[in-house]
Chain A
Amino acid sequence: MATVAGKKAKKAEEEEQPAAAAAAAAEEEEEEEYVVEKVLDRRVVKGKAEFLLKWKGFSDEDNTWEPEDNLDCPDLIAEYMQKHKEKEEKKKEGKRKAASEASGDSEERGSKRKKEEGEKARGFGRGLQPERIIGATDSSGELMFLMKWKNSDEADLVPAKEANIKCPQVVISFYEERLTWHSYPTEEEEKKEEEKKD
């Protein structure tokens, strides 16, 4: 049914309304012909274009898809294509890159950075020469020395492991300074201590 009807859709040139003209032309011909009232949609199936057609005298439930090649209603198709041409072009432009729209004034990351005094520069990273160790602590879980640096009054903590390698003499001085001497208890004194406890 569809293929035959498609061929019969014609338009008289003088008429303004293609559908009406087609209808007029159709009236003069056989009654089995079917007239395209309007082109509603377009799709591509297996590389071939097809159009969704509304048939004059039929309800929308009878709309059918017809291959482009079978149709002979160029003006109806042209009308449809004109309407949708702009839309197709816009669709290709749908994607918008960052520079054009969205990111203009958004967050950015600094392209340059100044290194300020005291920032992250701690311990040996400050590039100073160790002068002497003035204290120690292991409350962080790791043995740390409080290091006094040459030409600076700011002491800070360095890992003992690092100091042992980088300035062993300074470490040794620290330990030597803190040696405290106890005389070795005699055997008699030890016994007295034990008796006291009892």
Chain B
Amino acid sequence: MISFTCYNVTDDRFSKFKNKGKDSAKRREKRIEVCVQLRKAQKDEEVCKRRNMSMSSVVDEEALSPEYISDEKVASLSIEDIIKEVKSSCRESQTRGCQAARKLLSQERNPPMKEIIDAGLLSCFVAFLGMDDEPSLQFEAAWALTNIASGTPWHTQQVVDHGAVQPFISLLTSPHLHIREQAVWALGNIAGDGPHYRDALIDCGVIPAILALTCSSLQVGYLRNITWTISNLCRNKNPFPPLSAVQQLLPCVTQLLHHSDQDILCDSCWAISYLTDGDNDRIDIVVKTGIVPRLVELMGHDELSVMTPALRSIGNMVSGSDLQTQMVIDAGVLAMLPRLMRHPKASVQKEAAWALSNIVAGPCKQIQQVITCGLLPLLVELLRTGDFKTQREAVWAVTNFTSGGTVEQVVQLVQSGALEAIIDLLQVKDAKVILVILEAINNMLLAAEKIRETEKLTLLIEEMGGLDRIEMLQNHSNEMVYQAAHNLIEKYFADVSELYNALQLSVTRV
């Protein structure tokens, strides 16, 4: 409690003070009450901080249920009452009604979006957006419309069709930070609906307006919203965002990638992942910003929410040209992969295996780098112990390796245990995977031929139980599988199973 000592005062003024006339017991009581409130508010603030961006537990659970009638005068107006208030000509009523609508639309379960829309309130809210002399009203309307736009495509369409886009873009220059922030959020929801609205916003000039906000804003919460909305402007394909838009947004995104806040990093990485999820020209635009080393660094971030989109972005980039892949390798990706290939989360292992499969689809020089970094044993580990989706990616890695690798490299691959591991996988149900494995085996035999070790390899395959499996695959229901299996047998194992084949063929011809 603060108190001041003051001298030289007249009785007149003294008698007007609040505490005059109250006994000390009452004043003490009041002080205690305020202290308790202060402590509670501080505790709640700390809880909010710890929970980061998640829904605050500060909010009274009771207040979320529709039956709750709080002391707040506007909490649970019926929609009818809301309509009356909002459509009145009195500013205070409008604010009360709009706030009540906002609260309903903010409730956790079943916000009455359709009812609000059917009540014809959207045009009122949109009109409120333009009332620069009534910032409270603007804010409530902006929030209400944000939440409606967060619904289904139909809901978002309602917001757009009622003309909200231009007013929201105008609000990006509001003198009030919380209103600008709300407009950013609403526009993010509209952009996130799909490429159509995204491009419509871009045509309305949303990008320069949003970029202008990033210059001055340092408040983390505000910047988080901006980053998320920017990521939605980068999002979606068919079509991709216009190249000019991407060129404008990228410098900002690359800057945000150097921020330390994890939510900002998360959404910035997602933005990059969207921009790199395309043909090599799109990847090129991103790679040229020089952001690759930072992305590789973020692959090692402690937070899954940051590491996942960083890994996706890198995975996208190594699906590009050999040159683009080399840049990613030069940035140190191979050193980051082991941890990810051993990550407790299966989807991380899978994406790491996918990225690796694309790296080894490159020239033998890049394959050599993979070997040098000790990734072969890890690949074999994934083949043996990964979940099926991971194993599938790992199988692709093996086949790509055998396709581009030199004979020496293929020998090393076989020696690492990969051949045995893929032979074990021949019993899976997925026909495509079987085909990929058979191709790998075929490539290995082609390599063996070059150094005249075909017999050695066929013997090895037989010892590993591969011959039996491949023979059985000649009966597989999938035509391509039995064809491929048959070709393999005929080319390399004919002398072993010639007789068997002859019998087999004569039977099936009937």
Contacts and interface: CB of A to CB of B under 8 A. Distances in A.
Interface of A: 40-41, 52, 54, 60, 83-84, 87, 90-91, 94-99, 101-103, 106-107, 109-122, 124-129, 134-137, 139-140, 146, 151-153, 155-157, 175-184
Interface stretch (B14-22, B81-89, B246-254): B14-22
Interface in B1-26: 1-9, 14, 17-19
10 contacts: A90-B399, A91-B403, A112-B151, A116-B55, A118-B59, A120-B56, A139-B42, A146-B41, A157-B42, A184-B8
Given A60-B452, A106-B347, A119-B55, 18 more contacts: A40-B449, A41-B450, A90-B439, A94-B400, A94-B403, A116-B55, A117-B59, A120-B221, A122-B45, A128-B136, A135-B35, A136-B38, A153-B70, A153-B71, A155-B37, A179-B4, A180-B3, A182-B5
A59 to B, nearest CB: 10
A124 B178 contact: yes
B189 interface: yes
B125 interface: no
A126 B181 CA distance: 12
B393 to A, nearest CB: 6
Nearest to A147: B41
B156 interface: yes
B319 A182 contact: no
Contacts of B111: 114
Given A135-B37, A157-B42, A87 B443 contact: yes
B204 interface: no
A98 B316 contact: yes
Contacts of B73: 151
Interface in B382-405: 392-393, 396, 399-400, 403-404
B106 A135 contact: no
Contacts of B7: 181-184
B192 interface: yes
B131 interface: no
Contacts of A129: 136
Interface in B231-256: 231-232, 235, 237
Contacts of A40: 449-450
Interface stretch (B350-358, B419-427, B463-471): B350-358
Contacts of A41: 450
A114 B193 CA distance: 13
Chain B residues touching A, majority SS: helix
Contact of A111 (B6, B179, B193, B452): B193
Given A106-B351, A125-B178, A111 B277 contact: no
B142 to A, nearest CB: 9
B178 A127 contact: yes
Contacts of B475: none
B135 interface: yes
A91 B367 CA distance: 13
B300 interface: no
A103 B34 contact: no
A103 to B, nearest CB: 7
A84 B178 contact: no
Identify the 6 closest CB pairs spanning chains A and B, nearest first. Answer: A94-B361, A102-B354, A111-B192, A127-B139, A118-B59, A114-B150
A45 B316 CA distance: 32
A170 to B, nearest CB: 14
A110 to B, nearest CB: 8
Contacts of B38: 135-137, 146, 157
A30 B63 CA distance: 104
Contact of B351 (A103, A109, A134, A179): A103
A84 B446 contact: yes
A109 B403 contact: no
Contacts of B1: 135-136, 178
B63 A97 contact: no
Interface stretch (B164-172, B208-216, B285-293, B307-315): B307-315
Contacts of B192: 110-112
Interface in B470-500: none
B400 to A, nearest CB: 5
Given A40-B450, A135-B34, A181-B6, A115 B308 contact: no
Contacts of B319: 95-98
A68 to B, nearest CB: 17
B302 interface: no
B14 A112 contact: no
Nearest to A88: B403
A151 B73 CA distance: 6
A176 B106 CA distance: 38
B232 A117 contact: no
Contacts of A127: 135-136, 139-140, 178-179
A94 B405 CA distance: 12
Contacts of A87: 403, 442-443, 446
Interface centre among A98, A102, A136, A157 (most CB of B within 10 A): A102
Contacts of A157: 38, 41-42, 45
Contacts of A94: 358, 361-362, 400, 403-404
Interface in B44-71: 44-45, 48, 53, 55-56, 58-59, 63-64, 70-71
A181 B178 contact: no
Nearest to A140: B42
Given A135-B34, A182-B7, A109 B72 contact: no
B151 A106 contact: no
B128 interface: no
Given A106-B350, A117-B64, A155 B450 contact: no
Interface string B280-304: 0000000000000000000000000
Contacts of A102: 315, 350-351, 354, 393
A35 B34 CA distance: 104
Nearest to B56: A118
B360 to A, nearest CB: 8
Contact of B143 (A54, A115, A176): A115
B6 A103 contact: no
B477 to A, nearest CB: 23
A120 B277 contact: no
Interface centre among B2, B8, B404 (most CB of A within 10 A): B2
A153 B56 contact: no
A94 B71 CA distance: 66
Contact of B354 (A101, A111, A118): A101
